[in-house]
Structure 1
Amino acid sequence: MIREPDGSIKIYVRDNRHPQVIERQLRNLDVRADVTFLPPGKDCREPRGTYLPDNPALLTSEPPAEGKDDYWRLHPEQIKPGQTFVYTMWYEEHGDNRMFTARYRVATGPVAPCEVVPGGPVMKEGPEGGIGD
């Protein structure tokens, strides 16, 4: 996780293994966050809080430089005092292939812990070796 000169935070996919570590690193960068990782086919019972309307400027994907890990970029200036960045991720590996999908939101007020229920994306290895849902 790296704070960039423009204030954005670059979060590498390789970091997406331990949600409590990401929460702590974001807190150290003054971002209140609730991070949950789930197995494919599971989800959190919703709503966990009062979510703001989607804001695509909050999170942008950028192609990595050749030979570098994938990353995503968080724009913390979009998260106001009293708000929480709520990030839910599903991650799965199939041999050398890895796939993750994520949902991100901003909540105002308290955020309930994730109560795991059936749902969410299901990822599987395709006939050509790729991963799809």
Structure 2
Amino acid sequence: MDELKTLIKELEHEPPHSLARQRIRLAEEVAGAPRDRRWKRLLPFGRHTRPLLSGRRLAMGAVVAAVVAAGVAVPSLIGSAEPAYALTKNQDGSINLKIYDFRDPEHLEKELADWGVPADITYLPLGKRCGNTRAPFLKGDDFSATKEELSSSDAAAQARLRERLQKSISYQAIRPQDGITIYPRHIKPGQIAMIEVMENPVTPTVERPGVAWQFSGRLTTGPIEPCKVVADPSANDIGDATPPPGS
């Protein structure tokens, strides 16, 4: 746990207002950039065959998001002039989460609980991940794939893999849409939304594209063990695919 706290501190190498300015500048750069930026496919993490939901975003993907037409946004300041995150409740009952400053996950967990979503949130720097399973998987979340399927660059194979993933119970509840979108109607009593978010401490730019952040999420009934942090060598692989439909 001490190691995890140390790693989270690495995300605070710049004051929040500086990070906010970087994101605004990056958004302006992206707005005028060519539209052929490289995106990472929507796939389970790297070599994993467990039913993890992964949303990898490049520099552009991290700042370009659909505008929510109706909802109630609740930014959390946590003692800063800049919001750490914003929760938005949509008309269909879903909850959209946008994270601006990767700190104080316990505060986010509390607000999600107030909105009826039991959650376990973990922040890590990009290049690290939880190497342990941490919690039991739900029945119906079985998502098996061969190593060949996971590493295939064939568009049809990737589409089939995505379709299977999107039918899982966890995907119905936690989706990589407009940041992270949670659907409480798919979370049954006793289930917990376990979400791990990894941010690149160095902001990518148009000239130096890269993965800005990524996340994995799934449902579990617990208990949830502490994250055993390990290196993730594939974290900065931005791939060369186009965005999946609906991203």
* TM-score, normalising length: structure 1: 0.74
Answer yes or no: is the 8 Å Cα contact 1:43–1:120 preserved in 2: no
The answer on 1:11 being equivalent to 2:119 is no
Give yes or no for the alignment of 1:60 onto 2:175: yes
The answer to whether 1:104 aligns with 2:217 is yes
Select 1:74's aligned residue among 172, 182, 189: 182
AA partner of residue 99 (structure 1): A
Match of 2:227 in 1: 114
Q: CA deviation at 1:35?
A: 0.5
Deviation at 1:96, TM superposition (A): 5.7
1:66-125 Cα offsets, whole Å, 9 max, x none, are: xxxx5331101111111110000111143464711110010113111212222374228x
Would you identify which runs of 4 or more consecutive aligned residues in structure 1 move more than 4 Å?
Answer: none
SS of residue in 2 equivalent to 1:20: helix
CA distance in structure 2 between the aligned counterparts of 1:51 and 1:94, rounded to whole angstroms: 33
CA contact (8 A) 1:42 1:121 kept: no
Taking the aligned partners of 2:217 and 2:96, their CA distance within structure 1 comes to 15
**Distance (Å, rounded) in 2 between the aligned partners of 1:95 and 1:17:** 16
Root-mean-square deviation (CA, aligned residues, Å) is 2.4
Q: Which moved more, 1:15-24 or 1:71-80?
A: 15-24
User: Aligned residue for 1:35?
Assistant: 121
1:23 is paired with a residue of what secondary structure? helix
Higher share of residues assigned helix: 2
Q: Which residue pairs with 2:24 in the alignment?
A: none
Give the 3-state SS of the residue equivalent to 1:51 in structure 2: coil
Give the AA of the match of 1:33. Answer: A
Answer 1 or 2: which has greater strand percent. 1
Q: How many residues align?
A: 119
47 and 95 in structure 1: CA distance in 2 versus 1, 3 angstrom threshold:
closer
> Would you say the 8 A contact 1:40–1:120 is kept in 2?
no
Instruction: Report the Cα distance in structure 1 between the residues aligned to 2:225 and 2:102, rounded to whole angstroms.
Output: 21
Structure 2: stretches of 5+ with no match in the other structure? 1-86, 142-167, 206-210, 240-247
Q: Confirm or deny: 8 A CA contact 2:97 2:181 kept in the other structure.
A: yes
Structure 2 residue matching 1:57: 3-state secondary structure: helix
Amino acid at match of 1:41: G
Gaps of 5+ in 1: 63-69, 125-131
Q: Which moved more, 1:17-26 or 1:80-89?
A: 17-26
Q: CA 1:120 to 1:49, structure 2 compared with 1: closer, same or farther past 3 Å?
A: farther
